[in-house]
Amino acid sequence: MNPRIILLATLCALIFPAALCASNVGKRYPSEMRFMTDRVTGRALTVLTASSFSDSKPYQTHDTWTADGNWIIFRSTRDGGKNGQIFVVSEITGDIIQLTDHPATNTGSINLSRKEMKLFYTRGGPRRQPPGATEPPPPANPAEVVELDIGALIADSMTGKVQAPETYERIITTLPTDVRDGGLALDADETRLYWGVSYTQPDEARRQAQATAARDSKGGRQIDNRNTDPNVDREANRKRFEEAGKGSCGIRQIDIATGKITKVIDIPFRLGHLQANPWTPGEIIYCHETTGDAVQRIWACNADGTNNRPIYVETPDEWITHETVAGPDELIFNIMGHLPYLREHPTGIAVVNLRTKQMKLLGQVEEDMGNDQLGGFWHSNGSPDAKWAVGDTFKGSVYAINRETGKRTLLTTGHVMRPDHTHPIVSKDSKRVLIQSGMLTNGKALNLMVVALPEE
């Protein structure tokens, strides 16, 4: 065993009470797996988590299944902590295993290797203040980028032979403190991570985070309420989004082997949704984050900072959002249609070729939201085999669109879009869709569910 680990364990045992030395890393939780039938579509749903704790998956820009295809990664507060930790759940047995147990674990950017059973994440650094907080955040240690051997950890957990947490870790680098963390993305060749950074002053960054996270009395996001209000005209929305999209940001590259950090590019606006093309090494996708509409939403650049360019050059009356890489040369995104003035032009799930810039609309739904307002698709994702597009709607329905035939299939309904959205993502084998649903708790917490794609 590593001498450092032995020394730490010995010091812990001698100096601190046993309760303080304990760790939940590798802890197994009982299966919560159960099966349901959708009341509208009749399709089977596999419920993977069913607790009252909120269990949320990574954003659909990032991998959710482990490299072996057997485990789904998620974040949860089921360990009793306030900040949440990283877990995996077996899609086969329902076993749940805790992977992290650090008070400053950053669960907002979880990066799974597509080649090995490894996980990359950050811990430490400034902590996000809860909504309404007026006091400055407590001092924090510099953030570290951690590589976690989840293959060994899961194997040891399943056999009841979990070792000290440090056994499974490698600290890649310590991040500088003069910028704010904007999330990680793992390159296709898995030799480097891309790191979004913000130069925005801490108080301004905190204000933006609080505004985004604020909730109404029913647990809904205040930002969603403002963005779906049909009484707000387009000019008022544009001014609000222009203000929210201000910032000074950048992208850095982290060498996984050495920890060396180098500059990729600086960006004169608020950056969001940083992702790497999983098929094409050296290609980065990012967006102009405004908490809603942007003049030009989707951008891409190369890892050396060259070829920085807009992807799908939008018109002033298009609301573009929720872009995800859907293949070596394709990006799927939404042209929103939930407000009356947006319906004056074509809307729906679309796919754009990253090389030729040719775009194709795949479909839209007309969902009655009351008050003479139509809903529509909100988030989207594509299958690795390029056959399917999936999307959720404002009322919590999830559809599949066959890209070859254009046929649209309603998969499942009633997934309350609180406290967050379903964010559908397709499995590695292009056969199943994972969502996070507020159905079981009426919007008080999220649970993970899987539904099969049509067998066509």
pLDDT of res. 215: 82
Give how far Cα 147 sits from Cα of 120, 123, 161, 166, 186, Å: 5, 11, 21, 11, 12
pLDDT of res. 12: 45
pLDDT of res. 228: 87
pLDDT of res. 302: 98
Instruction: Write out the DSSP string of 215-250.
Output: B-TTS-BHHHHHHT-TTS-HHHHHHHHHHHT---EE
Positions of the chain with pLDDT lower than 50, given as ranges: 1-20
Does residue 227 contact residue 220 with C-beta atoms inside 8 Å? Answer: no
In the CATH scheme, what architecture does the domain 25-452 have?
A: 7 Propeller (2.130)
Q: Give the residue from 65, 112, 62, 115 showing the smallest Cα distance to 92.
A: 65
Q: Give the residue from 197, 313, 328 showing the smallest Cα distance to 265.
A: 197
pLDDT of res. 232: 87
Domain boundaries, the chain: 25-452
pLDDT of res. 21: 53
pLDDT of res. 20: 41
pLDDT of res. 35: 97
Residues 6+ apart with CB under 8 A from 102: 85, 123
Give how far Cα 417 sits from Cα of 134, 221, 224, 292, Å: 29, 10, 10, 17
Rounded-to-integer distance, Cα 195 and Cα 185, Å: 7
Instruction: Write out the DSSP string of 124-146.
Output: -SPPPPPTT--SPPPP-PPPEEE
pTM of the model: 0.91
